[in-house]
Amino acid sequence: MTRKMTSGTIIIITFALTIVMAIVAIGLGSVRIPIPEILQTIFGTTSEDVHNTIIFDIRMPRVLLAMIIGANIAISGALLQAVMGNPLADPGLTGVTSGAAVFVLVIMLAMPEYTNFIPIAAFIGGLLAALIVYSLAWKRNGISPITIILSGVAVNALAGGAMGYLSIMYSDRLPAAVQWMNGSLAAKGNNSLYMILPYAIVGWIASIFAIRKANIIRMGDQVASNLGEKVNRIRILLSLIAVFLAAISVATIGMIGFVGLIVPHMARFLVGSNYKYLLPMSMALGALVLLVADTGGRTLFAPMDIPAGILMAVIGGPYFLYLMRRRGF
């Protein structure tokens, strides 16, 4: 019972912390806005609107985007880890992210007139990558950590090659895509926010419905099947949700690695492996981590705006190595 209480409390605290961080982040930047003024502007209790544009058109959309996308990728990673029965599964390492990115890049560079289809293209690309990883890594007894990493390497190499080819073929149009490729939230405004929000809400609702199934499938195929579950159907369903959440994130701000790996891992450490707690915790923590990464990226080296994806890679790489070492892979 006490365990339940603390897990719930930890999740609430993390959500609260994320909101506080969001307000702080809105205040940070070339023009500093004190927190009371932010709150007054947001809740409309002031008649002065000096900061209206900065808050509503620039900082708030970016802060919200970072939170939404952080949550998306973290949930995606948590679900993939359940499906693959493997703590190293994450949309980046498995190639889902880069698969989605290739398809986005094709549209951005080769067919810019179809920009509206970017989210769908990302979803298809992500699915394709997931399919390749499954068919490569699947052994009769499930997926082993090593084969998943190797298949991920193969898919990532393939995607890297495709992206390299595209950047050479369309080098004249490349500058527009570079920011996106590095996973940057710079200059993202309300348009991006409105684009991703409906998709994200659909994905979140779907993942709430997935909690129970994720809990069963993490027990292993044999046990799940013995409990009367159709293992393959669950696996496909959960993978679809995971790929969807990762793909819409890639479509919006490009490739951000390691959030899907690190966040569920930290969440598991804090609230345990029961998805009833792990999923909301990953969501809150994912939002917080990417928000901190993005805010750090745009303020620490101001006026330079370091893409959040780069910051995550710098922090995430060593953490991944630490994980591998500790788990003895």
Q: Phi, psi (5° rounding) for residue 305? A: -115, 95
CB of 275 to another protein, least distance (A): 10
Between CA 236 and CA 147 the distance in angstroms is 19
Could you give the residue ranges of the DSSP H alpha helices within the chain? 2-27, 35-42, 52, 60-84, 96-105, 118-137, 145-169, 174-181, 190-217, 221-226, 231-253, 259-271, 275-299, 308-327
Please tell me the count of residues contacting another protein according to CB under 8 A. Answer: 17
> Of residues 29, 160, 220, 296, which one binds another protein by CB under 8 A?
220
219 touching another protein, by CB under 8 A: yes
Q: How far is the CB of 42 from another protein (least distance, A)?
A: 36
Minimal distance in Å, beta carbon 291 to another protein? 28
Q: Does 167 bind another protein (CB under 8 A)?
A: no
Whichever of 1 and 304 has its CB closer to another protein, that residue is: 1
Does the footprint of another protein cover residue 35 (CB under 8 A)? no
- Contacting another protein (CB under 8 A), which of 106, 216, 255, 288? 216
Q: Which is nearer to another protein, 37 or 221 (CB)?
A: 221
Pick the binder of another protein from 6, 46, 147, 225 (CB under 8 A): 225
**Which amino acid is located at 190 in the chain?**
N
Residues constituting the chain: 329
Per CB under 8 A, which region of 54-62, 156-164, 219-227, 292-300 contacts another protein? 219-227
Q: Closest separation between CB of residue 317 and another protein, Å?
A: 26
| Cβ neighbours for 47, distance < 8 A, ≥ 6 positions apart | none
Cβ atoms within 10 Å of 17's Cβ, excluding its own: 14
Does residue 227 interact with another protein by CB under 8 A?
A: yes
Binding to another protein by residue 46, rule CB under 8 A?
no
Comparison of 207 and 252: residue with beta carbon closer to another protein: 207
Q: Give the shortest CB-159-to-another protein separation in angstroms.
A: 32
Buried b / exposed e across 296-314, counting CB within 10 Å, b at 16+? bbbbeeeeebbbbbbbbbe
Contact call for residue 232 and another protein (CB under 8 A): no
Contact criterion met (CB below 8 Å) for 214 and 264: no
Q: State the nearest-atom distance from the C-beta of 215 to another protein, in Å.
A: 8
What are the backbone dihedrals phi and psi of residue 81, each rounded to the nearest 5 degrees, phi first?
-65, -35
Q: How far apart are the first and last CA of the chain?
A: 35
Selected from 228, 303, 318, 328, the binder of another protein by CB under 8 A is 228
280 cis-preceded (ω within 30 degrees of 0): no
Measured from the CB atom, is 229 or 305 closer to another protein? 229
Report 265-294 residues binding another protein (CB under 8 A). 272-274
CB of 319 to another protein, least distance (A): 20
| DSSP conformation class of 48 | -
CB atoms within 10 A of CB 19: 14
Binding site for another protein (CB under 8 A): 212, 216, 218-223, 225-230, 272-274
